[in-house]
Amino acid sequence: MTSILSDLDLQETRQKLNQIDANYESIGCLGHGGFGSVFAAKKKSGRRVALKVMPMDTSDEDEYEKFTREIEAVVKLNSCMDEEKKLGNNRDLSIVYFEDWYIASNFVCIVMNYVDGGTLASEIERKTEPYAERRIGWYALQLCDALAFAHERGVSHHDVKAANILIDASGGGKLLLADFGTSIKPGEECVGFTKCYASPELLASFELEDFSSLRPDKIDSYALGCVLYELLLLQRLEQVSGQQTLAQFIDGAGLDAAMESLPLPFLPPDTTKGNIVGYTHELKNLVMNLLQPNASDRWLPSQLQQPLRNDPKSPLLMPHIAAAKTASPGVPVTVDNIQLGMFVQRGPDWNDGDRDGPIGSVGVVVSLDADALYAEVAFPSRTSQTPPEPICCRIGASNKFELKVGPMPLPDFVSNPNDLRHDGIVPIDSTVAVTLGGKLNGKCEVVGIDKSLGVMMVAPLELLPIKSLAKPQIWQLQESSFCSPREHVMHPSSWRLDQGPFTDLLEQEEFENVLSLFFGTIDLPDHLKKEYFPVQKIERTQDTWLFESYARRKEKVAMENWGLANEVDAFMTSDGLHQNNIQMFSSGGKEFSMKALNILGKIGPSSSTKQILLCRVVTGRAASASSPSNLICHTECIGKDMYRCRGPCLAYPQYIITYKNQAPRDFRYGVTTEAANAPQSSPEQRSPTKECVICMERPVKYVMVPCGHAVLCDRCNSPYQLRKLKSKCPECRATFQRTMMIYGRVVNDE
């Protein structure tokens, strides 16, 4: 059974969606999951943003608390990031940025910065060749920076995983850490995690239901190690874990066994050159430091920042490339193929004029940058007066590639011309004086010297123009890749199709659920008395074609409505459905209501056997008299708690309820006062019930303390509605401390 939205819920939903529509234009759905849907949208300025829309009962304290937890954590980090920039620290941290958010009774929406590369999880699934070691190191550094920044400011993510890491393709493939819904502050205990990324101590605490002794920053460290392990494995842990998590495998077989089970080997430094594909032991140690089973032995992200940035053996600074094939001449230089001493030329996005010399000049990479989207190169100056000056070039930053791989191999212009030279690195001869800009054999020039490595970088003076090859295609979301915000749902597995399109409902629980919707909740004004409308039979309809049509229509409505289909259980007239072909059923123009009482009045008061439909209805955007004419609306409000479908396939008739009308002749249909189920009395005998001042519909059941005003019904006394009142009594505006239920009936003063 679907959830029931009240008339007020639909009105509030419509108002919030109208606000969103006024500020953003939907482009397409980027993805969806159990949380909801993420849409690409465009602001009036033309700038793209992402809208994360999550169906949620905001009166449910547990659900609402997770939403506010994410908002508070990200807004705090965003504020700290803004302060850092004001102080002159322009470091671009890999943390998602929230611009705005909206809250309605049945959904919440977060507006965040738009990234067009999907998630790291989807990249791993698309990957067919091993990750280059330098890219793994670059990803590790970005995530260490983000987590260390958050930890220093009292926020632990607590659900680090590839699916919660976004890729900014337009920014050269930079990462963004997202989804802080389970983040915790100092002193708080665990509120959620993903099992296959969980550390051993977290799994043990979960079994004991005691999280008091955990260190959340160490839990984030272990999860980061799991993400790096996925990059080495080239598979997601969800796909390989089965009944055993990585932590459980390590506990049984050992950490060394886990590292040895990876598809590529870890090779000594002298064998990682050329076309031998493998990773270095330095990368192995990095991952093992994060996956230590004992939390006290596990490194924190903050402890890895400096080694990754400054250690010469860091995957970001090592001279050679690992786990990547040597690049072909003419290919743009990227984080995946760059190495110290590489021959390069001006690339497709060159932006430094003639600083490289004439076209065809060959330069050399003289320094690697821990920010892997940049590199320093030097070209021959060709004069003795001006030594070569390094140029900082983009090799992916802002998706720009200023260098291409130069001609390789070249005849050895330093010693024996019959040998081939693959790079410009030459050991320094202590017996020969070496100066920057010095010429060797009249064929090459010294363009760089690295005394720590004991080498110099030399570049040929000969001009060797080569053809540029295509820029690397970083995967980006295209409009053709936009998906439906709703997974296509097949018909229920409980259907017994061999019994035809109509079958008696025999399951007791399902039968009782239908009855409860038909009669309503006892003690509420719209409750029906069973003796007035005795139910004789309930039949379930089973038509796969009609259900498939409804499911496809629901997907389309969700796409047009920010992922919100707004599905409800509602009543309609049967119009002889049982006698006709069920596939002739159409919702176009049909009226419906979430209250059976309103539809009973449409059917008529005669005492003969009657039928009413309980349908699953997609309300989508319910139009009102004030709705802008340019909005797509799927249903329309035609009266109090009454709606009309604006098109076909918006409803599926789930059940046919057969009943007898034995209500008194003066029974009032389609009203929601307490007198609806009783014969009318004279005005002198009637004591009018005071209605809730919020919904103006239900009887008052709660008073405000301490002012004592009786103003709220049982539904408007929800945590969500109380938050909206901002601790002010709606009648006298005095501050209230709590509400108190009253028994009996409150009547109007007049």
Binding site for ATP, by residue number, is 52
Contact 116/476 with Cβ under 8 angstroms? yes
728 forms beta bridges with 735
Number of Cα atoms under 13 Å in the Cβ half of residue 383: 4
Q: Which one, of 8, 9, 82, 188, lies nearest residue 566 by Cα?
A: 9
Q: How far apart are the first and last CA of the chain?
A: 43
Cα(338)–Cα(375) distance, integer angstroms: 9
CB atoms < 10 A from the CB of 501, how many?
18
Contact 99/109 with Cβ under 8 angstroms? no
Q: Where are the beta strands (DSSP E) in 619-709?
A: 622-623, 635-639, 642-645, 651-660, 702-705
Contact 599/612 with Cβ under 8 angstroms? yes
Q: Which one, of 548, 543, 542, 587, lies nearest residue 568 by Cα?
A: 587
Please tell me whether the peptide bond between 411 and the residue prior to it is cis, using omega within 30 degrees of 0.
no
Cα(346)–Cα(362) distance, integer angstroms: 9
Tell me the binding residues.
52
- Which 3 state secondary structure label does DSSP give 514? helix
List all residues 6 or more positions away from 412 whose beta carbon is below 8 Å from its beta carbon.
Answer: 418, 419, 420, 421
- Which 3 state secondary structure label does DSSP give 64? helix
Contact 216/199 with Cβ under 8 angstroms? no
Cα(363)–Cα(366) distance, integer angstroms: 9
Give kind and range of the element (H or E) at residue 308.
Answer: helix 301-310
Give kind and range of the element (H or E) at residue 343.
Answer: strand 343-346
> What are the backbone angles phi and psi of residue 518, rounded to the nearest 5°?
-70, -50
Q: Which one, of 219, 257, 256, 226, lies nearest residue 240 by Cα?
A: 226
Give kind and range of the element (H or E) at residue 103.
Answer: strand 98-103
> What are the backbone angles phi and psi of residue 5, rounded to the nearest 5°?
-100, 135
List all residues 6 or more positions away from 346 whose beta carbon is below 8 Å from its beta carbon.
Answer: 352, 356, 359, 361, 402, 403, 404
Number of Cα atoms under 13 Å in the Cβ half of residue 508: 0
Contact 422/472 with Cβ under 8 angstroms? no
CB atoms < 10 A from the CB of 696, how many?
9
Q: Output b/e per residue, 503-531; b: 16+ Cβ within 10 A.
A: eebeeeeebebbeebbbbeeeebbbbeee
Give the burial class of 271: count Cβ atoms within 10 A of its Cβ; 0-12 exposed, 13-18 middle, 19 or more buried: exposed
